[in-house]
Amino acid sequence: LSVSRLQAAVSGALESAIADYERLLVSPDPSPPGRSPHEPYRRFLTHLWRRVRAARERTRTYLGVWHFGENRYVQLATPEMAVVTPARTGLAALGMDDRAWRRLVDFDGNYQDVYSVDTRTGARRLLARQVRGGGGGPGGGTGGWQISPDGAHAYYFNDRCWFLVRLSDGATRNMTGALPVAFHREDHDTPSEPGPYGAAGWAKDSRSFFVYDRYDVWQVYTDGTAPRNLTGGAGRRAKIEFRIQRIEPPDEEEEPGIDPQKPLVVRAESEETRETGFFRVPAGGGEPQRLLWGAKNYRYVTRARDADVLAITAQRFDEYPDVHITDSAFAAPRRATDGGAQMQPFLWGTAELIRYKNADGVPLQAALYRPANFDPKKKYPLMVYIYERLSQNVHNFVHPRPSHNFNFSQYVSDGYVVLTPDIVYTVGRPGQSALKCVLAAVEAVESMGFIDPDRIGIAGHSWGGYQVAYLVTQTTRFRAAEAGAPVGNMTSAYSGIRWGSGLPRQFQYEKTQSRIGRPLYDDPLKYIENSPVFHVKNVKTPLLILHDDQDDAVPWYQGIELFLALRRNGREAYLLNYNGELHGLRRRHNQMDYSIRMKQFFDHFLKDAPKPEWMEKGIPYLDREKEKERFRKAAGLE
């Protein structure tokens, strides 16, 4: 939509349809003919990243506003400041300009210069420089920023604190730095700055906004009044996380925001037991009143517009997430759907939370899944699945469906015990950190007496796949292992490319998940110590590797490096590649194929099932499609 066409359109039916409004926000394309849509990025980006971003830039439009009373159009966003986010009322807007900091994205992170944008004139005022982008949590708005309903202020999170900025002159105050609790994630264990626990949004009167610490809800006032802990510290005392749950029916005519004069409903989750439910907090704050609570995962869904009727879901590992109907008191929920009926023909296990300490004495949790008809006198094979922290999923229903991961429900139904331990990390030692946590969790389950210590398998995908590959170079504890899309060699992966985004992978090692914390050139030994390929001589565990040739996150040559290193050293390893698949399997027939082969792999080593032909003979390249067709027929899939 061009500006000239927009001007012609603001007449007749359109004008009458919006007669009650003062302004219309639109996104025409102001780029002059012949100009490259990604010209502003040329100075900063590699060719590949320019190519990836150009696909977005070709279809990008730039926000502007039409003022009806003055019959005047004002351009707000431009190619130099492409991201402009208005308040719902249109009274103010925020603009993000990352041009000065784009070079840092390769090895550090996203940063923005943030501006207030006057929607009447398009004038810009610098509010903050080099603010780390994203991470405001629910209601966080652009880059963690959110404008008040009256357009006078905005809040944002930076340097571990919440800040308030006055848009008219840029005056900024730290609103939470003096409070006795942390508002950044206290369990953050990557080399980057921690993000916030989140924000719930503004009050309707624009005089305060609502943010979270680890457990409780805080109301922060714009006039300098001391912030108030609305849940009175009850969350911290009980280690229960309270988060505001908006249950009022949506109303476009009402002012946006939270009504501070009304009681609040909060969703609650115990950090100790993972029980969940809903509480009511009195208007102005006070002791939360329990409404609904139990050893399930309760989630709010929606509310009827003209009746006191709410829909929620309730699920456990052995309970389908059916919809339940209740009221605003959450009294006596009654089931309205029966998706669980499909579970009846199958054996379904149970899930529980266990506690253990890693090798450094750090208290941790894990989810443990036991088969149906569990007999504590029997010895069961154990399957371990790892990523980072997973115990919080203990009350989640796991749909029995194929994918690139092994399915907990299927394996438990087939007589396996499944364990998903939490892992905490020391920067510079991600591999050893995983080893200390995973082995301690396995030992804790073994001590219960129902695990066959000679029949333990382990699996993981992506970051979990890397950790599996590393673990089998350090321990012979596992009889069989599967690593999906693993990094095998951090020294070569460091300067690889994430093909989906076009970004270099250096930031992952220096600042985020891979947790080395320093550039390769400053501490190469750390990269070598944490790379599986340099320790493959220690491997005694048969390893199944999945790595697809179009992986857009971890370059598939990482799987090849790992496989060839194992092969060169005479270790038992299998590499499967599904042509055209990305970081995870998307096509259902490939998901089915891999799920069956992975199950055959683990059944052979952990349950003494016959070794399948594909493990004995491999699959010739020219026969791969015939093999998949034969395999599907043999499995009854065709």
Same domain? For 183 and 296 the reply is no
Per-residue pLDDT tens over the stretch 509-523:
999 999 999 999 999
Question: What percent of the chain stands above pLDDT 70?
Answer: 90
Per-residue pLDDT tens over the stretch 191-247:
999 999 999 999 999 999 999 999 999 999 999 999 999 999 999 999 999 999 998
Q: Is the dihedral of CA 575, 576, 577, 583 positive or negative?
A: negative
pLDDT of residue 500: 87
pLDDT of residue 16: 35
Whether the predicted pLDDT of 39 surpasses 70: no
For residue 622, give the 3-state DSSP assignment.
helix
What's the CATH number where 459 sits?
A: 3.40.50.1820
Whether the predicted pLDDT of 44 surpasses 50: no
Same domain? For 52 and 126 the reply is yes
pLDDT of residue 31: 52
Per-residue pLDDT tens over the stretch 568-611:
999 999 999 999 999 999 999 999 999 999 999 999 999 999 99
pLDDT of residue 341: 92
pLDDT tier for residue 20 given thresholds of 50, 70 and 90 = very low
Same domain? For 188 and 288 the reply is no
DSSP 44-89: TS-HHHHHHHHHHHTT----EEEETTTTEEEE---SSS-EEEE-TT
pLDDT of residue 269: 99
pLDDT tier for residue 10 given thresholds of 50, 70 and 90 = very low
Q: Which residues have C-beta within 8 Å of that of residue 510, sequence separation ≥ 6?
A: 107, 108, 191, 516, 517, 518, 519
pLDDT of residue 128: 92
pLDDT of residue 338: 96
State the maximum Cα–Cα separation within the chain, in Å, rounded to a whole number. 82
End residue of a domain, out of 345, 363, 381: 345
Same domain? For 75 and 199 the reply is yes
Same domain? For 428 and 571 the reply is yes
Cα–Cα distance, 172 to 167 (Å, whole number):
9
Q: What is the mean predicted confidence (pLDDT) over 310-316? A: 97
Q: What is the mean predicted confidence (pLDDT) over 354-366? A: 98
**Containing domain of residue 462, as a range?**
347-634
Pairing of strands 451-461, 480-484: parallel
Report which DSSP code applies to 149: T
pLDDT of residue 619: 85
Same domain? For 359 and 438 the reply is yes
Same domain? For 231 and 258 the reply is no
End residue of a domain, out of 227, 249, 271: 249
CB 275 within 8 Å of CB 293: yes
Alpha helices in 31-126 (DSSP H): 47-57
Same domain? For 222 and 255 the reply is no
Q: What is the mean predicted confidence (pLDDT) over 255-282? A: 95
Cα–Cα distance, 581 to 104 (Å, whole number):
30
pLDDT of residue 19: 37
Per-residue pLDDT tens over the stretch 60-94:
889 999 998 888 999 999 988 989 999 877 888 99
Same domain? For 318 and 418 the reply is no
pLDDT of residue 46: 54
pLDDT tier for residue 251 given thresholds of 50, 70 and 90 = low
Whether the predicted pLDDT of 388 surpasses 50: yes
pLDDT tier for residue 258 given thresholds of 50, 70 and 90 = very high
Q: How many domains are there within the chain?
A: 3
pLDDT tier for residue 30 given thresholds of 50, 70 and 90 = low
Same domain? For 62 and 204 the reply is yes
Average pLDDT taken over every residue of the chain: 90
Same domain? For 258 and 236 the reply is no
End residue of a domain, out of 316, 345, 374: 345
pTM summary value: 0.90
Same domain? For 447 and 489 the reply is yes
Cα–Cα distance, 483 to 532 (Å, whole number):
12
